Structure 1
Amino acid sequence: MKIKPPRQAQEWSYFSHRESIGKALSSPGIRSNKKTHINCCSSARMAGNVCANVDHIRRQGRWNNTTINGAYLTNLPRELVRSMAEFPTYGRFFYIARAVLNPPTSLCKKLFLAIGD
């Protein structure tokens, strides 16, 4: 049995890159004008979701302030939004204390008419 050496990596053309991402997005029905930069946007937002510092996100992507705020992150103040949703403004915690409450059965029956059947 002969083992073939791995193919040498070749640089992708911009067109090939854009076309392959377009096909991957259109397959499940996703429409987007951002094909080659779609991962930039999602990775910046994912970093923001875990409370990464905006300056660190900007430096990692080598973006200027206009680009990071205008194209890749929302202009909403993350700490304010997190606190309004009753999440801590620091760390990766997404625990809501009210989620452990068990509503009374009488309320459940009003909301879900088929309960108890």
Structure 2
Amino acid sequence: MFELIAAVITVAGPEATSAGVVLTGGGAQLDGITALARDILKAPVRVAAPEGPLLGILDDFQGPSNAAILGLFSWVARGLDEAGIAEEPQAGILGRAGGALKGLFSRVRG
């Protein structure tokens, strides 16, 4: 898999990985995966983890396996707050994201 990614990086150019590569998911927890990725991709590699404790999320879910989805929830929640879309304060990030999705679905249904 890393060899396929390396081929894409070659086509995209070295600036595509100037900030490094971030591994997410359960596979990111495999022993030696970071070193293997670094050797093949010729770029800095790190394993993702959500930034800081996320309110409303159990510690068991705050590792690399869930980093991508929690990052998306966090990004959506921040963006909606900045846009002033949040209707009422919600407890924790999942509550905020769920409230935002509920609002979007209610607008779509009309």
Question: Normalising by structure 2, what TM-score?
Answer: 0.30
Bigger relative contact order, structure 1 or 2 (CA pairs below 8 A, ≥6 apart): 2
Question: Normalising by structure 1, what TM-score?
Answer: 0.29
The structure with the largest strand share of the pair is 2
Q: Which has the larger radius of gyration?
A: 1
